[in-house]
Structure 1
Amino acid sequence: MSRQYIDCREYPSTMNCSVALCADSEGELLDAAVQHAVAVHGHTDTPELRKQLATMFKAGTPPVQVEPAKTPA
């Protein structure tokens, strides 16, 4: 299995989070992403959150620079 990543810079948030996580397995990445979402962004660990996060995974590693997401007005 190839590395996968999720990058907060690609999603709007009021805190403009710049954390990117990557791992060799989907399970490991999902656990790390859930921990980050709960501890930093205040989400609750639910099956729905886990399902949503898993859909945001991308193959490879995060790029060095990403166009920051626009915060909703």
Structure 2
Amino acid sequence: MNRKYIDCREFPSDMHCTVAIAADDDQELIEAAVQHAVTVHQHQDTPELREQIRQLFHEGTPPVEAPAAHAH
């Protein structure tokens, strides 16, 4: 089982979110990331959102330094 993470610092937002979430299990990570996206970022929990989030998973653990932000 490989640790995976998702890092909000990759995506600029008005709130400058610096949260990163890591888990050993994909299902656990998707549930935590969706809960964060809905609660903090006001997204709707849809199959499309879940697929978008799943595509953003990285292997390993979040870096200490903020990663470069993606252009939207």
TM-score by length of 2: 0.91
Q: CA–CA distance in 1 between the matches of 2:68 and 2:59? A: 19
Number of positions where the alignment pairs a residue of Structure 1 with one of Structure 2: 72
Unpaired segments ≥5 residues, structure 2: none
Give the alignment of 1:1-73 within 5 angstroms: 1-67=1-67, 69=69
Comparing 63-72 with 48-57, greater Cα deviation is found at: 63-72
Runs of 4+ off more than 6 Å: none
Q: Deviation per CA, 1:2-57: give whole Å up to 9, x if none.
A: 00000000112111100000000110000000000000000000000000000000
TM-score by length of 1: 0.90
- Describe the shift of the 1:67–1:58 C-alpha distance in structure 2 as closer, same or farther (beyond 3 A): closer
